[in-house]
Structure 1
Amino acid sequence: MWIDVVSSVLLLLGALFCAVGAFGLLRFPDLLSRLQAATKPQTVGLIMVLLGAALQLQIVDAFGLVLVALLQVVTAPVLSQLVGRAAYRIGAVERSSLVRDHLGDRLRREGFPTPEGRPGDR
């Protein structure tokens, strides 16, 4: 009985996290905030849903869900970072909202083009 209660709570909380992440995608003003909403709460929500479902399965079957959770934890941050870097390079990131522009500093230092042009063009 307690496994059913814990499983239900995990499923509901996971669904809530996913809904909050989806709401953030719609409401946040800029690309970087939307990337945050697309990765953090969605990943936590999926893990909670998978754990809730795994509690209802046998251990052998639940192992597959653990692999899905691990794959999500590994790939979501990497993809988010790659999308953010690509958006920065094409000028889709509002640079005035950045507290510290580490990527811009690195690109200028290494001589790569940045959205405002090559270093020394200003």
Structure 2
Amino acid sequence: MSVGTALDWLAAVALVCGALLSLAAGIGVLRFPDVLDRMHAATKPQVLGVLLLLVGLALRLRTAADLGMIVLVGVFQLATAPVAAQMIGRAAYRSGRVDRGLLDVDELAEPGPQGRR
């Protein structure tokens, strides 16, 4: 087996794993009951799925121009997904769409009479 064939097989494995993780993220967004669970499903497996897809794409294409673009897409995905999840979670909390009884620690709650939360 040549090196090119081995890289093509690794690319195929990465692409299939990335697609399955992205599918799991989509199913989680549809099936999970509340905003925070959906936010978790939309960020964690989806980002890993996209990164695996990008690795598979990089292993398949193997040109400098393509690799540069793939790295940029990966960096922007890693930079924007956590920020978007944070903003969605905060907006859901402020609009009252979060069941506060499910939270272990509520760091955004108003301070009590003694200044504690």
TM over 0.5: yes
Q: Distance in 1 between matches of 2:64 and 2:11?
A: 15
2:85 to 32, 57, 80: 80
In the other structure, the counterpart of 1:70 is 75
Preserved CA contact (<8 Å) 1:10 1:49: yes
2:13 to 9, 31, 49: 9
| Fraction of identical pairs, as percent | 44
State TM-score, norm by structure 1. Answer: 0.84
Q: Distance in 1 between matches of 2:107 and 2:97?
A: 16
Preserved CA contact (<8 Å) 1:6 1:52: yes
In the other structure, the counterpart of 1:116 is none
State TM-score, norm by structure 2. Answer: 0.88
Q: Distance in 2 between matches of 1:99 and 1:10?
A: 36
Q: Distance in 1 between matches of 2:16 and 2:108?
A: 38
Structure 2 residue identity aligned to 1:22:
G
State the shift of 1:60 in Å: 2.7
Alpha carbon RMSD of aligned pairs, Å?
1.2
In the other structure, the counterpart of 1:38 is 42
State the shift of 1:81 in Å: 0.4
1:54 to 51, 58, 61: 58
In the other structure, the counterpart of 1:91 is 96
Unaligned runs of 5+ in 2: none
Larger RCO (CA within 8 A; separation ≥ 6): 2
Structure 2 residue identity aligned to 1:87:
A
State the shift of 1:77 in Å: 0.4
Unaligned runs of 5+ in 1: 110-118
Q: Give the count of matched residue pairs.
A: 108
Structure 1 residue identity aligned to 2:82:
P
